[in-house]
Every structure is written in C-alpha cells, then in structure tokens.
Amino acid sequence: MTDTSTGPQDAAGGGASRASMWLGGGLAVVLLAAIGATGGWLLAGDGDKSQGDPLAAATTTGPPTSRATAARPSTGRATPSAVRTSAPATRGTGLTVPPVVGADFVQARDMLREQRLGWRLVFGGGAGRNVESAAPAVGTAVTRGTTVELQVAGPAPAAEVPDVVGKDCAKAVDELVDEGLYPRYISGRNGKVARQEPVEDGSARWNDEVSIWCGAGAPEQPTVKPSP
C-alpha cells in the first residue's frame, strides 16, 4: 500500500516540479530577450549618434574650400603691367618731322640736322632739287636720331671733295658730310687723316663715298693731284 500511494504522489510532484522549472526557464528566456533587445537598441542608438555628428565632420574635413578661393586676389595684380606697357615711348618729346617737302634738298637736310635727325637722300630721274616726299611724313612724331628719307625730284648734283689730309679724323668726317659725301673708314677712326680717295677736287656727286685712312699706320697721301 505504501508503495502504491507513494508512486502517484511522486509522479504528481515530479510533474509539478518539472512544470515549475519549464515555466521559470521560459520567463527567464523572455526577460533575457527583452533585456538583450533593449541593450541592442541602446548600442545601436549610440553608434548612430557618433556617426552623424556634424561637429566631428566639420573638424575632420577642415574649412570649406570656397573661403580660401575667395581670399586669393588673383585678378588684381595683372592690371598695372598692362597699363605700363601701353604708354607710348615718344609721349612728351614734342619732336616731329619738319616741313621739308617742297624745299631745296640742301635746305631740307639742314632742317633735319638742326633737330638732330638723320637723313637719307634718294635722287630721282626728273628735274629740280626740291624734295617731293618724306618718310616718315611731315608732322609725324619722332625721336632723336630717327632717319628721315627725302625723295628728291632730280638726279644727284656734283659735289666738291674737300682736302681733309692732315686733319683730325672726326673733323674730316664733318667736312665730308657737309659737302654731301660719306666717309669710308679704311684704317680706323682715330688720329689724323693720312690719305683720302678721291683727292681734293676729285670727281664726285652727292651721296658718293670718300675713303679715308686715319691713324699713324696709314699710308701717306700721294702728292700727285688730278689734272684740271
């Protein structure tokens, strides 16, 4: 009897115990799951907050590049150079080609010499000694030393060859130029003239060259002069 009554009680008690254990375990699982979900949500929320922090992004990327671009004055420095290069070189000189057209070519040459301008005579095949045109033209602004070409109507007239032997080379050149002739240096430009060709009163025309030998080593001038 004892064994019979004891078995069912144990079975009932064992079943109740097992039910309690299952119930307790289920509650524990539910609680753990709830806690785990809550912890996971909190962790996920913290991670999203750190990734979306605008202050951290601004700190790591630095200031916007548009500020640096606006601060560079890249176009303000090019203007002065353009202004300097546009200034005319002859501004303020007041020097122009004198009224040489229509004048005798010797008079026109002297007008250019007075203003320290160079000249080049171009003789034509017509008649007369007057200047027909000038290049640069009359009234053109020029600088000191500019050569003006004079077109003469007629051919080159005869020129008188001066005697420059024994004179200083520089003074001899001035005399030749005054007579419408041009020096051709054979042995330098310093010292006295020891020889010239053609000689005094030799055959020559305006724009012709006269060879001169200047210096101590120049050959002496022949004493024979051309017969008249």
pLDDT of res. 85: 31
Spell out the residues 6+ positions from residue 136 whose beta carbon is closer than 8 angstroms to its own.
97, 142, 146, 148
CATH of domain 105-152: 3.30.10.20
Give 56-82 pLDDT, tens digit per residue.
333 333 444 444 444 444 444 433 333
Calculated CA dihedral for residues 204, 209, 215, 217, nearest 10 degrees: -80
Q: According to the model, what pLDDT value does residue 216 have?
A: 77
Domains of the chain by residue range: 105-152, 169-214
Q: Is the pLDDT of residue 121 over 70?
A: yes
Strands (E), 66-208: 118-123, 131-135, 147-152, 182-185, 193-197
Q: Does the pTM exceed 0.75?
A: no
* For residue 102, pLDDT beyond 90: yes
pLDDT digits (tens, 9 = 90+) for 180-201: 999 999 998 999 999 999 999 8
d(CA 93, CA 111): 17
